[in-house]
Amino acid sequence: MTIHVVGNVCVDTSFRLERLPRPGETLNASTAVEGLGGKGANQAAAAARTGATVTLWAPVGRDAAGDRMASLLSADILDLRLSHLDLPCDRSVILIDRQGENVIVTAAACAEAFDPLATSLLASTWRAGDMLLMQGNLGADVTAQCLEAARAAGLFTVLNPSPLLVDPLDLARVSLLVVNRPEAEALTGETDAERAAERLLAMGATAVIVTLGSEGALIVDTSSRLYIPAEKRDAIDASGAGDCFAGTLAGLLAQGASLPDAARLATQAAGIAVGRAGTLASFPTRAEIAALTKTFKLENV
């Protein structure tokens, strides 16, 4: 099975601060780091580090930043299907306080212009039995069309709709929906994670995972409810933890792991990530994922 990750690539600039600034306030950062980011790139790299076969379909700018991001991506992902657009490469600015909480602002001209079904070989490359993994960075119409085409072609579809799309999606196209607690509440109006997950099932998703930060994750489908606990860790930087979870989860599922086993290991991987500085740089390495896999005795991975 190939995981087709359709999403975005960003230049991430992270600033570490004692606290987040108030409106109108200027603060000096203790450090500033620039590197590879974007939810599509992050999740594709996390999936590839599990040993899964991954193809990344994403736009980059036709500029030096785009070339640099493509070079960095090649360290994790062998099959890069990047569309070089006549736009500046997308960029994100991440502010991180000493508790590890963050705020992110993204300039996403490339992601907003990207239409993989119209401008790439995506639909002629995927095969029945493959997986489509998407996020919320592309346009709502593009995301909906990709999910619909993938389901019609016999793919297993995974959606992590972050950032949340303005227009609601038909979740009947989604085999597995992965959201955090605030996203689940925003989509359903339910503050309780289990009730929100049940509402998302009623809206069409086949299965739902609600990630709960330091509390772990909740898996809900039509027949079961399962809480996955997380180990207590000191958080240094929570940016990218959701991407680490989603990508690791998809990579393990693509290799035959059960949903509970994949979610347990993905929770462990995200826990490692929040204990380190950086976004993609904080994700567990291939060797660390392999060691976790042995710990969980995943027979098919």
Three state DSSP letters for 156-171:
EEEEECCCCCCCCCCH
Cis before 163 (ω within 30) = yes
Q: What is the pLDDT of residues 177-195, one digit of tens each?
A: 999 999 999 999 999 999 9
Identify the band that residue 27 occupies on the pLDDT scale cut at 50, 70 and 90: very high
In the chain, how many H helices and how many E strands? 11, 13
Looking at per-residue confidence, does 98 or 202 come out higher? 202
Catalytic residue, chosen from 12, 90, 237, 243, is: 243
Confidence of residue 25 (pLDDT cuts 50, 70, 90): very high
DSSP 3: E
Summarize pLDDT for 262-300 with one digit per residue, the tens: 999 999 999 999 888 777 888 999 999 998 888 766 655
What domains can be seen in the chain, in order of their start residue? 2-19+31-296 (3.40.1190.20)
pLDDT in tens, 142-172: 999 999 999 999 999 999 999 987 777 889 9
pLDDT bucket at 232, cuts 50 / 70 / 90: confident
Unique residue bearing structure tokens 């289990």: 194
- The total of other beta-carbon atoms located within 10 Å of residue 84's CB is 15
Q: Is pLDDT of 235 > 80? A: no
pLDDT digits (tens, 9 = 90+) for 56-99: 999 999 999 999 999 999 999 999 999 999 999 999 998 989 88
Mean pLDDT of the chain: 92
Mean pLDDT of 23-48: 93
Q: Look up residue 299 and give its two tokens.
A: 């027979």
Q: What is the pTM of this model?
A: 0.92
Residue 206 pLDDT exceeds 90: yes
How many angstroms separate the Cα of 290 from the Cα of each of 75, 103, 300?
17, 31, 12
User: In the predicted model, is pLDDT for residue 237 greater than 80?
Assistant: no
- Residue 257 exposure: Cα atoms within 13 Å on the Cβ side: 24
63 is a catalytic site residue: no
Is residue 5's pLDDT more than 60? yes
What's the pLDDT band for 14 if we cut at 50, 70, 90?
Answer: confident
